[in-house]
Amino acid sequence: MPMKKNISYIFLKRFLSSIILLFVLLSLVFILVRLAPGDPILRYISPELSQDLRQEIIEQFALNRPLIEQYYNFLINLFNGDFGTSFIFRDSVMLVILSHLPITFFLATAAIILQFIFSILITFLIFKRDKKGSTFIETLMLIVYSLPSFVIAIFLVVLFSVWLGVLPTGGLTSSNFSSLSEFGKIFDLAKHLVLPVITISLPGIIVYTKYLTDEVSNTATKNFVLKLRLEGKSPNKIYWKNILRNSIGPLITISGVEFGMLLGGALITEVVFSIPGFGQLSVNAVLNRDYPLVTGTVLFSALFVILSNLFADLIRLIIDKTYYKSFLSNEKN
């Protein structure tokens, strides 16, 4: 019972602190984006149009009101679920964001799956190989991790699109997409997403591998593992059934945080590959000084990260209650 209360208290504390953080972040973004130099209205009107029309547009977007009044109205509308109307799309910010989220959600999900699979396989290779082989793999991972995302993206485009010519350079579909069969459309879409998914996945694979390698090395020295080895159990069986099973918990926690960051921040990859997802939408909103859309994308990005962190914290607390009890029991035996 005390453990339950402790979990509830910690989770509630994290939740309330996340709400406060979200409020502060939105307030700062709202104020800073409006204090930045430039006039967003100039993008949407022609010099030939009258001042009356310009004033009408300003009033329509409520940009003529004092900043404090705009902020108050923003909070009221936010609590009512109204994120405003996008200057660019002339449509509800919520609908615009939701229309761009699916592709980013797919990229993030595919990236998380790849990160899990490859980090587990690479960790196994490091664990099985000798010290020189492990050092080479770790050095190679460090080099890749130090490269910016756009450098990795450009390298992949040059290799697979320019030199080998097997994958498209960017975009979401080919020009003849509408004339393809259903299977052809799926294959065409998959071809366009291969390079973006690899670009997003690579840094995460390296981070996951580092965490998992450390956990595996630590678990491999535990008493219950040594006991299994003395009993003559197969090394591979010990690794997959006992060592990996007792090492993968922290990786699940990290993946919750990583998924939120991927949903909220796949900016560079989507821009380089011209993917019309949430990341590119965020960049266009800033470049076009679309105040409501900028605030909306920041809100959703923050929500993704905060909710994934809360989810990760919840998993960590559950693991502390159940998983590690089993781990300690195995170690005693």
Mean pLDDT for 148-168 is: 89
| Domain coordinates in residue numbering, the chain | 18-82, 101-332
The span from the CA of 206 to the CA of 194, in Å, is: 18
Burial of 281: CB neighbours in 10 Å, binned 0-12, 13-18, 19+: buried
- Could you tell me which of 253, 153, 162 has the C-alpha nearest to residue 211? 253
Where residue 234 falls (left for φ over 0; alpha for ψ -120 to 50; beta otherwise) is beta
> How high is the pLDDT of residue 305?
79
| Beta-bridge mates of residue 85 | 92
Compute CA 93 distance to the chain's CA centroid, rounded to the nearest angstrom: 21
Q: Taking the CA of residue 72 as centre, how many other CA atoms within 13 Å lie in the half-sphere pointing to its CB?
A: 5
Q: Which amino acid is at 265?
A: G
Q: What mean pLDDT, rounded, does the chain reach?
A: 80
Q: With 50 as the cut, is the pLDDT of residue 193 above it?
A: yes
For residue 313, CA distances in Å to 15, 20, 140, 275 come to 10, 17, 32, 32
For residue 327, CA distances in Å to 6, 222, 299, 331 come to 21, 10, 39, 6
Tens of pLDDT, residue by residue over 224-276, are 888 888 888 888 888 888 888 778 877 777 777 778 778 765 778 888 898 88
For the chain, give the longest Cα–Cα distance: 89
CATH architecture designation of domain 101-332: Orthogonal Bundle (1.10)
- Could you tell me which of 129, 277, 283 has the C-alpha nearest to residue 196? 277
Phi/psi of residue 92, each to 5°? -60, 135
Q: How many CB atoms lie within 10 A of CB 278?
A: 28
Tens of pLDDT, residue by residue over 111-157, are 988 998 999 988 888 887 755 556 777 777 888 888 888 888 989 99
